[in-house]
Amino acid sequence: MSLWDKLTGELVDIVESPEGTAEDLVVRFARYQNEVKYGAQLVVREGQGAIFVNEGKLADTFTPGTYQLETRNLPVLSTLRGWKYGFNSPFKAEVYFFNTKPLLNQQWGTQQPITLQVEGYGLVELRAFGQAAYRIADPVVFFRQLVGTVGLLTGRILLDYIRGIIVARFTELLAQSHPTIEDLATNLGVLNASVLQGINTVLQPLGLEATQFQIESISLPPKLRDELFEYSRLQNVDIARFTQFQTAKSLTNLGSGDGGGVGAQSMQIGVGLAAAQQIGQVMNTSFAKAAGSTEPPPVPGEAAFVSYHVAIDGKAAGPFSLDQLRAHIVNGTLNGSSPVWKPGMAKWAAAETQSQLQALFSKEPPPLP
């Protein structure tokens, strides 16, 4: 310390927090040999607290206000020093100023994805981001637990520690609540309050208090997010028009496809048309159920489970259901002599030799009984 600092330390009779930044949590008052004059004024501003420390032991604490430093304002220090009848000479004591205002906009986030069991989707990896705010609630406890002899403690130093607490409590509460995707999208307010309470159970023994916790974003895996968007979109579209659009799109893409021959392309068209028909039937059935239908669906027969592989242009394709095979017959890509095969057959055989397919090639009705 310079000679000027020594002289001003002897002349200045005001003890106040030095200029700092808004993120300074604890600042030690700098004075040559920590000497404080009898009768000096202590100034504690709003949003601050002050603590006197005598030879490493906590002495007196002060809330916002202006105080004249004498025995009646320093009862603990007077006892420690043995000042029964007052004192007139300078005394040595460390003075710490605490910032008790909330530190706002403290950003947090999960550095690694959180693996969570989500109802209806199994194990899902999530990322979350947001902000929090905290403050020193009890300067005495905070000093004993975290400060010690540190001359300057900033919020930036503590932030990494608090981030770890936030992520740990956030992960723990998510795992305990078994949320649905809808909960993650619509019930963030409840989750925010629960995490805030969990954070404070850890911070309060340190003299800290989290005053705010907010989840700004929960990120899902791209594939799952796209599926949810598609599902949501389908809830608000005309299924018949959507099916027509998808079929037309498939036919357009078919014109720019690579290889496969004319027969294979015709096969794809037939499959697309049959699939579109099946999608329409399934969706119409689903909407009928949602409208209040009480009739159970018919029990599927054997034909619903029949499927065959078909040789097209010398290549195996399929398997295809009976409805799909019927579409191929209409398109001319399947006839009675076309080789077919299904599990259980020893080798390929002509389609017309299979009893389950003969009805597809019959052009004349059977004789009347």
CA distances 61 to 23, 53, 249, Å, are 21, 9, 76
* Confidence label for 302 from pLDDT (cuts 50, 70 and 90): very low
Q: What is the mean pLDDT of residues 316-342?
A: 80
Neighbouring C-beta atoms of residue 278, cutoff 10 Å:
14
Whether residue 202 sits in one domain with residue 267: no
For residues 86 and 113, membership in a common domain is answered with no
In a domain, 369, yes or no: no
In a domain, 207, yes or no: yes
- Smallest CA-to-CA distance from 185 within 126, 264, 104, 109 is with 126
Q: Within a domain: residue 355?
A: yes
The parent domain of residue 93 ranges over 3-99
In a shared domain, residues 351 and 269? yes
Alpha helices of the chain — where are they, by DSSP H? 3-11, 75-81, 139-142, 155-177, 181-186, 188-203, 222-234, 239-255, 261-290, 322-331, 355-361
Beta strand pairing status for 307-312 and 339-341? antiparallel
Rounded mean pLDDT, 237-264: 58
Residues 6+ away with beta carbon under 8 Å from 137: 100, 204, 207, 208, 209
Task: For residues 242 and 348, state if they share a domain.
Answer: yes
Same domain (yes/no): 210, 321 = no
Q: Has residue 136 got a pLDDT over 50? A: yes
Domain shared by 73 and 12, yes or no: yes
Q: Is residue 295 part of a domain?
A: no
For residue 178, give the CATH number of its domain.
3.30.479.30
In a domain, 298, yes or no: no
> What pLDDT score does 45 carry?
93
Residues 247 and 350 in one domain: yes
Q: Which of 176, 192, 221 is the last residue of a domain?
A: 221
User: 32: pLDDT confidence band, cut at 50, 70 and 90?
Assistant: low
Question: Higher model confidence: residue 296 or residue 101?
Answer: 101
Same-domain check for residues 150 and 73: no
Q: Please report whether residue 228 resides in a domain.
A: no
* pLDDT given for residue 174 in this prediction: 85
**Whether the Cβ atoms of residue 101 and residue 95 lie closer than 8 Å to each other:** no
Higher pLDDT, 39 or 71: 39
Instruction: Outline where DSSP puts E strands in 55-121.
Output: 57-62, 65-68, 91-92, 94-99, 103-109, 114-118
Q: Which of 221, 245, 275 is the last residue of a domain?
A: 221
pLDDT tier at 186 (50, 70, 90 boundaries)? confident
Domain final residue pick, 50, 74, 99: 99
- Whether residue 217 sits in one domain with residue 132: yes
pLDDT reported for residue 129: 93
Structural domains in the chain (count): 3
In total, the chain counts a number of residues equal to 369
- Residue 162 shares a structural domain with residue 183: yes
Q: How confident is the model at residue 128 (pLDDT cuts 50, 70, 90)?
A: very high
**pLDDT, average across residues 241-256:** 62
Same domain, 111 and 209: yes
Together in a domain, 142 and 74: no
Residue range 171-182, pLDDT digits in tens? 888 888 888 877
